[in-house]
Every structure is written in C-alpha cells, then in structure tokens.
Amino acid sequence: MISKIIKILVTAVGIVVLLMVGLRSTQHFYRMQEWHNGGELYSSVSFAADSSVVFTKIDERDFSGPPLPEAGDSLLSINGSPATFRYLLKEVNLKPAGNELDILYMNKAGDSLQTTVVTVPVPSSVFGFVLALFVLRLLIGTAFLVVGFWAFIKQPDSGAVRSLALFCFSMAGVLATIFNFGYEHIPVMQIQFMEYLMVIMTVVISFTGAFWLNLQLFFPKPRSFMRERPVIAHALIYLPIMVLVILSHYTEIAGFQIALAILILLQIFAGFGFLFERNARTKDLLEKRQTRLVLWGTGTGVFGFFLVVLLILLFKSWFASQGTSFIMGVFILVFLGLLLSPLSFIYAFGKYRLLEVEGRIKRGTRRIAITAALLVIFFAILYSLSGFILSKIGTQNQALIPALALVLAVGFMPAQKKVQDILERKIYPERTQLKNMLVDFLSNALAASERDTFWSELESRLCDVLKVDALITVLHTGEEKPMVLLGGEETPFLPESEFARALSTFEDRPFMVDEILATETIRLTPQEREWLEAHDVAVALPLASRHKLIGFLAIGMKRTRQDFEAADVEMLRSLSFQVAVAGENLRLLEENSEKHRMENELSMA
C-alpha cells in the first residue's frame, strides 16, 4: 500500500513540474519577446517601500542633454504623470526604443529639475546572452525531466530510482523558478490555477537537498542503515525539511527561511560527502566507476550551480558591479556544467560505457576551464594594452580596441590547443609512451616474418605499457568457425554470436567486461561468459579493418588491481584501428606469399 502511494506521489510531482516548466517557459519566451521589442535604459532605478522611485545608477547616454540627475536623486514624474513602477514600465519597456520621456526629478539639495530621457534598444550582446541562457535552461530542465520519467518508468519499485526521479524533477523546478533573466516585471497573461501549482512546485524545490541526500544513501547500492532502519533514515532526511517548510510558509519570520536554505545546502554537501566516501572505500570496480562518473558529471554541474548561487548571495554588491554580461557569462558556464548531470545519471544507472562517458565529461570540463582561463587572460591583456597604447598616443578614440582585439583573437585558438596538449601530456604521460611505442612498433610491423610474431610482440609490449597481467589475441579465421588463439586453439566466440556482432558494430570502442556481465546489454552464451571469467578479462578491444571484424584483444586486469581509467579507454580506442590494419596487411602478405609459393611449385611440376 505504501509503495503504491509513493508511486502515485512521484508521478504527481513529475506531472506538476512538467506542467510548470512548460507554462513558465512559455511565459518567459513571451516576456523575452516583449523585452527585446521594447526600449531599455542604461541607467538604473529602485523602488522604495513608500513607492518613491530613486536613481541608483546614471548613464549619460540615456539623456538628450543636461541637466543630469545623480545616483540618489528621486524621480518625481514622467510626461507629467506621477512616477510609478507601472507607468515607468509602460513608457520604457512596453514601447519601442527611441521613446522620449520628459522627467521631473529632485536632487539631493531639494531642487526640482526637468530633463529628457530617450530609451535605447536592448543591446545585442545582452540579448544574445539572455537567449543562450534561456535555451540552455530549457534544454537542461527538459533533460532532467526526461531522465526522471525514463528512470521511474523503467524501475518504479526501486528506492534509488524513485529518489533519482524526485531529484531530477526538483532540479527542473529549480531551474524554472529560481533563476530569472531580469525582465520578469513585464506583465503576461495569467493562467488559471497556476499559483496553486506554483505553491506545490515551491514545496518540491525545498526538498531538493533531501532528494539528493536520499539518492546518495541508495546509490549505487543501499547502505546498511537504509536497509535495516528505513523509517528512521527517511525521517532524519525529510522531517527537518518538512518542519522548516511549514514554519517558513505560515510565519513571516525570516530566520526560518534562512535556516531552510542552509539545511538544503547542508544536505547537498552531505550527499556529495557520502558519494565521495563510497567512491573512496568501495572495492568493487564497477561501483567505483559509477560513483566517479556521477562525481564528475553531476558534481561539476550541481555543486558549481549551488556554489555560484551562494557566492552571489554573499557578494551581491560585487557581482552587481561587474555588469549583466559578466553574470550571464558565469551562468552560461555553470549551465554547460549542469547539462552533464542528466547524462551522467543515465549512464551511471545503466552501468554501461561508464569510462567512455567519464572521459568525455573530463575532456569537456577541461576545455571549458581552459577556455574560461584564457578568456580572462585575453580580456586582461586587451584592457591593459589598450589603456597603455591610448595613453601613449594621447587619445581617447576607442576605434583602436576592436583592431587590437582582432589581433589577440587570432592567437586564441592555437593557444587553447597548445595548453590542452601540454596539460594532457602532464596529466597522462602514459599516452605519449603508448603513442611512441605504437609508432615505433607499427613502423616495423611489416618487417615481421610471421603474423604470429607480430601479435606476440604486440601482446608483450602492450602488457608492459598498460601494466596488465595478460593480453590475449583472439582472431577470426575468415570462416564460420569459432575464433581462435594464436596457437590455433578454438574459443567459444562464434562470428555470428551477439558478442561478435557487438564488437563488429562498434569497431573501435573498448568493452568493459564487468559492465557486460552486470547489465547483460550483450547476451553472452554460458561458454563465452565462462571463458571471459576464467581468463580474468577486464576489457575486450575490437579489431576491425575495412568495417570487417578480424578479432579482438582480451585485456586482463591491472597488476595493481586498480580499475582502468578514462584515459586508458581513449588510448585503446586510438590503438584499435591501426593495429587491425597492420594485422590484416600481414595476413594478406602471408596469403600472397603462400599463393606465389604454390604457383612456383606448380610451374616446376
């Protein structure tokens, strides 16, 4: 009965969040259109508690001429009408750019002065940032919803999957409600019952930290406390949040809302702590791979998102002083990181292609970090050089800056690639070692007198470079017979088996054998399973030449008994095709040599 109620509750939460994400996105799109079509001011105003309007920042580009108000002056009237929020919105944002406004303001000395304000178009750069953020937010929210529903439909009875679904729904809600673009004041059509749905989604969002913590106590396997004391465990996770949500909703005490925000952050940090501890302690290589993928994929995005939100709350004035473009640029980077989170969950729960996805996430994160660092250096150099050159030539003409920026931009991409290569050589020195070994070995491959000598030498060298116990070459005979070892011994792998077809389909993609055994994504015969387990095969590397499978390399466990890393998979992937081509060329040479020998013998006879 309880299980049925939980299923209904999860489904209801998902539907409410789906509706709200759709409605909120529609409203935001309409507001964005209105904002883009309307006017804008470079200056800023604030609205005091007594409804008075006060200038907080002045930009002379908004005014047709003097007198100019100063920050702190009060705006009294617009076109003869009292200055109110609604009237200012109507005259500035809801009318096209170029609208002239006669304003009356009071300076700090108490004098009333009149001037003219001319609205300007929304800057293209700002609109570009906003549009990019809008699209990214919609993509990430949709991705979280898809992952939540996909996981829940597949395994509705799993506690871990329910927690994942609820966390995904709450993250979609967070993105749809908490993050704003600055044009939310523009009125839109109100939809019936939306305010009630908004209350429900606000409650769901409040449990984001609890859902995340609950998920980490289930993932990848339930902890002993969750198995033995499930009621107490769930009470400790959810009761404090429930109490604070009720108190903050029905009272006007700000302390409860602050306590609620702090508790949500503490639960998120605690969830990451449990995830990190599981990754460090587990001896199961598949579990370690799952937790490491989530740490990289979700940790990069979710941790970064909440950290930036916390920093903005703590240093609000500093972020405001940096300008809209800077803040939006920061959030674009954070949103790109968040896009990795749903992807990491799909593969982590699917227990398939974990290292490959982890490698792509690491590579993408590294590129984003390098790009961000180089952009900071780029703008710092541009700012310093432009200031120095302008001061030397004694002019304030800004036309020189775009030309200087163009010169610096020419070297940006080469610098990015150079830094990327240097970092990869420092972080993964074994890649350079393998590359050098492979170039040296393949350059002399055709000098090998026999094909078996080639494969034996390859096995020996790869064992040393990869530091594995053993490496076995399994080759296709070219007939409908089982694949064989170098000595001619048959294996249980038939050319038409599902395992062989999978190897042929993906050609250069290494297969982690424990993932295949755990998930049965590829159905192995009992004989194939027994052979792989008996030989302690950790990785199966397909060897395909000209879209034809010639065999595979059965790579054993690391000598240190540590797991393979994403860098190892990338190295093996780059190795596969070159080795397959060299091996196939040797086979063709042997066949031609044998053919010539038989022809000579025939002619002599």
The continuous run of DSSP H or E covering 53 comes out as strand 53-57
Residues 386 and 493 both lie in one domain? no
Domain assignment present for residue 360? The answer is no
Note whether 70 and 51 are same-domain residues.
yes
96 and 182 belong to one structural domain: no
More confident residue, 394 or 582: 582
Note the helical H segments in 476-555.
Answer: 498-506, 513-519, 526-534
Higher pLDDT residue, 132 or 306?
132
Residue 341 corresponds to which amino acid? S
Q: Three-state DSSP class for 541?
A: strand
- What DSSP assignment string belongs to 288-308? HHHHHHHHHHHIIIIIHHHHH
Q: Evaluate if residue 344 carries a pLDDT over 90.
A: no
Percent of the chain's residues with pLDDT above 70:
86
In a domain, 576, yes or no: yes
Q: Which residue carries 């008075």 as its tokens?
A: 52
Task: Give the integer Cα–Cα distance in Å for 509 and 461.
Answer: 21
Residue 9's pLDDT band, with cuts at 50, 70 and 90, is very high
- Whole-number Å distance between alpha carbons of 565 and 567: 5
DSSP 135-147: HHHHHHHHHHHHH
pLDDT of residue 447: 58
Quick: pLDDT tens for 287-305: 888 898 888 888 877 777 7
- 604 inside domain: no
* pLDDT above 90: residue 566: no
Average pLDDT of the chain? 82
Q: Classify residue 83: in a domain, yes or no.
A: yes
Q: Is the pLDDT of residue 88 over 70?
A: yes
Q: What is the pLDDT of residue 382?
A: 65
Residue 602 lies in a domain: no
CATH for 459: 3.30.450.40
- Residue 397 inside a domain? The answer is yes
In a domain, 603, yes or no: no
Count the neighbouring beta carbons within 10 Å of the beta carbon of residue 130. 20
Q: At what angle do helices 324-338 and 340-350 cross, to 10 degrees?
A: 10
Under 8 Å between Cβ of 555 and 418: no
Same domain, 92 and 165: no
405 pLDDT more than 70: no
Dist CA 104 CA 252 (whole Å): 37
Q: Which of 482, 486, 511 is nearest to 497 (CA)?
A: 482
Q: Judge contact between 343 and 364, C-beta under 8 A.
A: no
Write down the residue that tokens 């027994």 correspond to: 530
Contact 258, 312 (CB under 8 A): no
Query: Where does residue 446 rank: exposed (0-12), middle (13-18), buried (19+ CB within 10 A)?
Result: exposed
- Average pLDDT of the residues in 127-146: 88
Q: How many CB atoms lie within 10 A of CB 444?
A: 11
Residue 144 scores a pLDDT above 90: yes
Which tokens sit at 501? 């077809």
Torsion, Cα of 484, 490, 491, 496 (10° steps): 70
160/214 same-domain check: yes
| The pLDDT of residue 400 is above 60 | no
Section 158-169 average pLDDT: 92
Domain stops at, among 394, 427, 460: 427
Query: Among 480, 487, 478, which Cα is nearest to 452's?
Result: 487
**Residue 28 CB burial class (10 angstroms; 0-12, 13-18, ≥19):** buried
CA distance 520 to 442: 35
pLDDT tens per residue, range 180-224:
776 767 777 777 788 888 888 989 999 999 999 999 999 888 888
CA proximity to 551, closest of 598, 515, 587 = 587
pTM: 0.78
Percent residues over pLDDT 90 in the chain:
19
The reported pLDDT for the residue numbered 408 is 60
Looking at the fold, whether 462 and 487 belong to one and the same domain comes out as yes
What is the model's pLDDT at position 460?
A: 85
From 427, 451, 467, the end of a domain falls on 427
Q: Encode pLDDT of 23-68 as tens digits.
A: 888 888 888 888 888 888 888 887 766 667 888 888 888 888 888 8
Residue 341 and residue 290 share a domain: yes
Residues 104 and 152 in one domain: no
Residue 168 has pLDDT above 90, yes or no: yes
Distance CA 454, CA 441 (A): 9
Q: Quickly state the pLDDT bin for 18 (edges 50, 70, 90).
A: very high
pLDDT at 410: 64
Residue 221 and residue 272 in one domain: yes
pLDDT given at position 278: 92
Cβ–Cβ under 8 Å, residues 223 and 217:
yes
Burial of 394 by CB count in 10 Å (0-12 exposed, 13-18 middle, 19+ buried)? Answer: exposed
Whether residue 142 is found in the same domain as residue 276: yes
Gap between the Cα atoms of 19 and 23, Å rounded:
6
When comparing pLDDT for 76 and 547, which is higher?
76
Q: 62, 95, 121 — which closes off a domain?
A: 121
- What are the tens digits of pLDDT across the range 411-436? 666 776 777 677 666 766 666 666 67
Domain-located, residue 70: yes
102 shares its domain with 233? no
- Rg of the chain taking only CA atoms, in angstroms: 32
Burial track 39-55 (b if 16+ CB lie within 10 A, e otherwise): bbbebebeeeeeeebbb
For the chain, the domain total comes to 4
Contact between residue 36 and residue 28 where contact means Cβ atoms under 8 Å apart: no
Structural domain boundaries, residue 260: 2-31+125-352
Residue with token string 């740490």: 295
Residue 3 amino acid letter: S
Q: What is the pLDDT of residues 450-495, one digit of tens each?
A: 777 888 888 888 888 888 888 999 998 877 789 989 888 899 999 8
* pLDDT for the residue 148: 93
CATH of the domain at 46: 2.30.42.10
DSSP β-bridge partners for residue 53: 47, 75
Of 200 and 381, the structure prediction assigns the larger pLDDT to 200
List residues bridging with 115 in a β-sheet: 103
Clarify whether residues 307 and 228 are in a common domain: yes
